[in-house]
Structure formats: structure tokens, C-alpha cells
Structure 1
Amino acid sequence: MTIKRYRYIAFEGPMACGKRELAQHVAKSLNAELVQDLKENPFLESFYKNKGGAAFQAQLFFLLNRYQILQELKQPSLFHQTIISDFMLDKDRIYAYQNLSDSELMLYEKLFSLLRADVVEPDLVIYLQMSPDRLYDVMRKRHSGLFTVSDEYVENVVEGYNRFFFHFNKRPLIIVNANEVRFDRDRTALLDLLNFIDRDHRGVTYFTPQTN
């Protein structure tokens, strides 16, 4: 299958919503170049232990490395290839507002603004939307005994994503109801989404996948 309307498609959504797996399957289905977010950060362990300054260090590490990854999209060899990404640089700012102090945010905002101006914009954005309760349940099951994230933090992250995309108007946006679907396990839902993507989208459209 090919999608010619959009050269660069970005998937977004809070942690554990399934965007990474979905982006992998879409890239494989379209024979597209896959650009993925970081999974490792040397400062995360200290951040989870609430060590002083660790949140700022972790956030800057994510921001600078995400920026570096997205700079690769400017390579001439990718100009005529479909690109699928499982993140936007803007996600970094959503988490920064959950994790950083006011003084840290002042410095962060200056750096973010400089980097954000130099990032290639996607042609289409797909937001996997989940309710806080559903997302919290998915995260708890995935991490079992190691799960330490509070339900309040999950609610704040989801609220941050919803607020960001409520005001998002830079590119066409598809908001996917991801509460009851696992695209990596449901071929019908995946094909349904691919067919929906391959349309002329303007503004915001909403999509609820057909599932098995």
C-alpha cells in the first residue's frame, strides 16, 4: 500500500498509548522510513528517585536528542520517501511542564524555542487519544510490580496532550479513539486506519477504528 498525499506522518500520544507499535506497523505496511523516539535516558533513574536537578537533566537530554533525530529528516536521500515518526518535538514541552520547576522552565523554554524553529513540520499528525483511566490501567498492567507513576501524573499528562492538540492548527490532525484498540494485534483496525489516512484531510478529523 502507498499513501502519496503525505510524505511525513507523525504519530503522537502519551506514554504507553501504543503509538510506537502503531508507527512500526504503518511504516512496514507503507514501506516507509521509520523515525523513532528515544527509549533510553541516563538521567531517568535519578529522576525517578527524585534526586535534585535530575528532572532538568533528563528533560534536556530528551530535548536535545529528539532534536538531533529530527534533523536527520533534512537529508536529501529522504526527500522522495514516505516518513513515519512516532513523536513530535512538541511532546517534550508537554512533559517539561509536568516535571520542571518554574525557574527550570524559564531556561527550558528559551532552548526549546530555538530548536523548535529549526524542525521539519509533518504533513499529517495522528493523535492517539486515551482516557486517563484507560491509560493508567494499560501502564499498570505493562509494568506490573515496577509501576510507580501516580494516577494524578497520568491525568496531568493526558490533560497536557489534550490541551496541546485542542489548540493545534499547524497541520491536518486526525484524533484517534485509542481506548479500545490494539493496532499491533488487530489487522482489521490497522487497515481501517490506513484507508482513513489515505484521504484529503483538512483541519481536525476524528476516527474510531473498526475492531475484530
Structure 2
Amino acid sequence: MQYKFITIEGNIGAGKTTLANLLAKKLNTRLVLEEFSDNPFLPKFYKNPSQYAFPLELFFMAERFKQLKDVLQPDLFQQTTISDYLFTKCLLFAKVNLPEEEFKLYQRLFDIILQQLILPDILIYLHAPVDKLQSNIQKRQRDYEQQIPDSYLQNIQDTYLNYIQQQNLITLFIDASNADFLHDEMHLQIILDALNRKHLPGITRISLP
């Protein structure tokens, strides 16, 4: 595997963790999964966003940094690692969730921390329409997610797309409208085949039949 640090991203409910687990098993790699359930502010945020957005985002940033810093240490065998989140996710969600002055402060902290982490060799971005996201969210039955409005998911989606179009990271942009990685082996194989090819920096678009 030529890509030593593979990151999977996408909106809430896009299927990041499912794909990360399947790829890590197929490729026999180290797996890093976001520990979002440990954030005590998450259920509170969905009930009262304006009050809990800043502590929510600070907690996520601190936890993600600690996890990636601990895991992504250079080792003798240069083990391949798959993560189901990109650290820049911190900034993207903060941009949506925080008022301007709080976001400026948050961004200053983010920029300092980002310098201490390595960037992924390749980003897999799962793009799905909002109705598909909502369907996936309903299926996984996390109580605090069940009332997420379409407008919030669309705002997150737009923020991701804007970021991807501006950065120069090697990015596999997957149309996940029909994705079923658990039950359709062809969908998973398409991703595996793409990871075995060399890609130039920028966006490579891939559709799943």
C-alpha cells in the first residue's frame, strides 16, 4: 500500500466508520476511530446549540489531537493507518457551529495545533444527498441525532465541499448515493482498487453503481 495514512471523511451519516472498519480489515491496517461518544457536550449541543457549541468543539479538537498524536508516531515498520476523520473536521464544524468572534479564537488555537500533526496521504470523501444521510442517521438510532434538521446537514455538506475544492490533497471523491459497503462487495472493491492506484493531488471522482 503506497498510502500510509488514509483518512475517510463525509457528512454525518455518510458511512465513514463502516468503510473505515471494512478497509482496515481487508488491508490489515491500524484503525483510528473517532471517539465522539465520549463528548459530554454532544447531546446538550443538539438541544441547545448556542450554549454548548464552543465547549463541544473545544472538546472534540482536544480529543482528536490527543488521539492522532498518540497513534501517528513514526514507527519502525511505517504501519499503514486508516482514520474515520480528518483533523481539519474540527475547523469545518466550528465554522458552521460558532459565531464569528468565537470562531476566530477557535481558529487561532486550531492553527497552532495543526502544525503538530501530519496530513493524510490520501482522503476518501463520501458524498451523499441529505435524504440518504437522514436515512442512515435514523437506522443507527442515536437518540441525540434523531432531530437533526436537513438545513444543518446541508450547511455541513456545503462547508465540506468548499474545503475540498480549495485544498490540494489527494482526494477520492466518492458518490455514495447508492453506497452499501456492508452488503455490496463491488462497492468496497471499487474503493480498494482506487487505493491501489497512484493519484495526483486534487479531486478524483468515483461513482458507485
TM-score (norm 2): 0.91
Whole-angstrom distance in 1 between the partners of 2:179 and 2:112: 37
The match for 1:138 among 120, 133, 136 is 136
* Equivalence for 1:23: 20
**After superposition, what is the alpha-carbon deviation per residue over 1:106-156, rounded to whole angstroms, capped at 9, x for unaligned?**
211111111111111111111111122322333244439861111111110
Letter in 1 for 2:194: F
Unmatched segments (≥5 aa) in structure 1:
none
Secondary structure of the corresponding residue to residue 141 of structure 2: helix
* Equivalence for 2:154: 155
1:114 aligns with 2:119: no
1:88 aligns with 2:80: no
Do the aligned partners of 1:193 and 1:209 also contact (CA within 8 Å) in 2?
no
Do the aligned partners of 2:33 and 2:85 also contact (CA within 8 Å) in 1?
yes
| Distance apart, 1:81 and its partner CA | 0.7
Whole-angstrom distance in 2 between the partners of 1:148 and 1:78: 46
Do the aligned partners of 2:46 and 2:148 also contact (CA within 8 Å) in 1?
no
Secondary structure of the corresponding residue to residue 37 of structure 1: coil
Unmatched segments (≥5 aa) in structure 2:
none
Give me the CA root mean square deviation. Answer: 1.9
Whole-angstrom distance in 1 between the partners of 2:58 and 2:206: 34
* Identical pairs, percent: 33
| Distance apart, 1:99 and its partner CA | 1.1
Letter in 1 for 2:177: N
* Equivalence for 2:186: 188
1:21/1:99 CA distance change after superposition, 3 Å: same
Letter in 1 for 2:190: D
Whole-angstrom distance in 1 between the partners of 2:207 and 2:10: 15
* Equivalence for 1:209: 208
Whole-angstrom distance in 2 between the partners of 1:19 and 1:26: 11
Whole-angstrom distance in 2 between the partners of 1:47 and 1:17: 20
* Equivalence for 2:174: 176
Letter in 1 for 2:141: H
| Distance apart, 1:52 and its partner CA | 5.6
Whole-angstrom distance in 2 between the partners of 1:32 and 1:119: 20
1:72 aligns with 2:66: no
* Equivalence for 1:100: 98
Do the aligned partners of 1:73 and 1:120 also contact (CA within 8 Å) in 2?
no
TM-score (norm 1): 0.90
| Distance apart, 1:51 and its partner CA | 6.7
